[in-house]
Chain A
Amino acid sequence: MNGAQTIVSFLQKKGVNPAFGYPGGPILVLYDAIYQADFPHVLTRHEQGAVHAAEGFAKVTGKPGVVIATSGPGATNLVTGIADAFLDSVPLLAITGAVARNCTGKDAFQEADITGITQPITKYNYLVMDPADLQSTLEEAWNLTTEGRPGPVLVNVPKDILAMEIPEKASAGAGIMRHRPPRKKVETQVLSVFEALKKSKRPLLLAGGGVIISDGASQLMQRFVEETGIPVATSMMAKGVIDSHHPQYLGMVGMHGTPQANSCIGNCDLLLVVGCRISDRIIGDPAKYNTNKDRVVIHVDIDPAEIGKNIRPTIEIEDDAANFFSHVLRHMPDYNFKTAWAEWISSLQIKADRFHKITDELVCLNDKLLPEAVVHEVSQAYKGMNPILVTDVGQHQMFAAQYFEIESPRSFLTSGGLGTMGFGLPAAIGAAIAAPDRPVILFVGDGGIQMTIQEFGPLKNLGLNVKVIIMDNQQLGMVRQWQELFFGKRYSQSILDNNPNFIQIADAYGLQGGRATNAQEFRDNLAKMLASKEPYVLHVMLDVQELVYPMIPPGKNPDEIIMPGM
Chain B
Amino acid sequence: MRQNLSILVENQSGVLARVANLFARRGFNIESLAVGTTHNPEISRITVSITADEEQTAQIVKQLHKLPVVLKVKRLEKDAHFSRELVFIKVTCDSVTRTSVLQIVDIFRGHIIDVSPSTATIEISGSSDKIQALTELLVPYGILEMVRTGLIAIERGERVLSLDS
Contact = CB atoms under 8 A, between A and B. Distances in A.
Nearest to B63: A305
Interface stretch (A157-165, A172-180, A442-450): A172-180
Nearest to A177: B163
Interface string A142-182: 00100000000000000000000000000000111111110
A177 B55 CA distance: 29
B68 interface: yes
Contacts of A116: 17
Contact of A176 (B25, B42, B63, B67): B42
Given A119-B18, A178-B71, A308 B163 contact: no
A305 B62 contact: yes
Contact of A144 (B63, B68, B163): B68
Contacts of A309: 59
Contacts of B62: 304-305, 307
Interface in B9-23: 10, 14, 17-18, 21-22
A303 interface: yes
Given A176-B163, A309-B59, A181 B43 contact: no
B55 A120 contact: no
B71 A175 contact: no
B55 A308 contact: yes
A305 B63 CA distance: 6
Interface string A293-325: 000000000011101110010000000000000
Nearest to A303: B66
A180 B10 contact: no
Nearest to B162: A179
Interface string A166-203: 00000000111111110000000000000000000000
A127 B17 CA distance: 14
Interface string B37-64: 0000011000000000001001100110
B72 interface: yes
Contacts of B81: none
A491 interface: no
A305 B25 CA distance: 14
A341 interface: no
Interface in A97-145: 115-116, 119-120, 123-124, 127, 140, 144
A174 B42 CA distance: 10
Contacts of B17: 116, 119
Contact of B59 (A123, A127, A308): A308
Contacts, number: 44
Interface residues of B, number: 21
B109 interface: no
A97 to B, nearest CB: 19
A178 B68 contact: yes
B65 interface: yes
B26 to A, nearest CB: 9
Interface string B65-96: 11110011000000000000000000000000
B66 A123 contact: yes
B65 A181 contact: yes
A119 B72 CA distance: 20
Contacts of A115: 14
A12 B108 CA distance: 67
A337 B43 CA distance: 53
A82 to B, nearest CB: 15
A59 B90 CA distance: 61
Given A119-B18, A174-B10, A179-B163, A124 B68 contact: yes
A181 B163 CA distance: 11
A309 B21 CA distance: 18
A179 B71 contact: yes
B83 to A, nearest CB: 23
B64 to A, nearest CB: 9
A124 B10 contact: no
A176 B18 CA distance: 18
B12 to A, nearest CB: 9
B160 to A, nearest CB: 14
B68 A176 contact: no
Nearest to B163: A179
B10 A305 contact: no
Contacts of A120: 21-22, 25
A57 B27 CA distance: 34
Contact of B58 (A123, A127, A308): A308
Contacts of B14: 115, 127
B65 A180 contact: yes
A305 B66 contact: yes
Nearest to B43: A176
Contacts of B163: 176-177, 179
A180 B14 CA distance: 21
A115 B15 CA distance: 12
Contacts of A180: 65
Contacts of A124: 67-68
Contacts of B72: 179
A176 B10 contact: yes
B58 to A, nearest CB: 6
Contacts of B42: 175-176
Nearest to B64: A305
Nearest to B13: A129
Contacts of A176: 10, 42-43, 71, 163
A130 to B, nearest CB: 11
Contacts of A307: 62
B38 to A, nearest CB: 12
A180 B68 CA distance: 9
Contacts of B71: 176, 178-179
A105 to B, nearest CB: 12
Interface string B93-121: 00000000000000000000000000000
Contacts of A181: 65
Nearest to A149: B66
B54 to A, nearest CB: 10
19 contacts: A115-B14, A119-B17, A119-B18, A120-B22, A123-B66, A127-B14, A174-B10, A174-B68, A175-B42, A178-B68, A178-B71, A179-B163, A180-B65, A303-B66, A305-B62, A305-B63, A305-B65, A307-B62, A308-B58
Closest 8 CB pairs of A and B: A305-B62, A120-B25, A304-B62, A305-B63, A179-B71, A124-B68, A179-B72, A176-B42
Given A176-B163, A178-B71, A179-B163, 18 more contacts: A115-B14, A119-B21, A124-B67, A124-B68, A127-B14, A144-B68, A174-B10, A174-B68, A175-B42, A176-B10, A177-B163, A181-B65, A304-B65, A305-B62, A305-B65, A308-B55, A308-B58, A309-B59
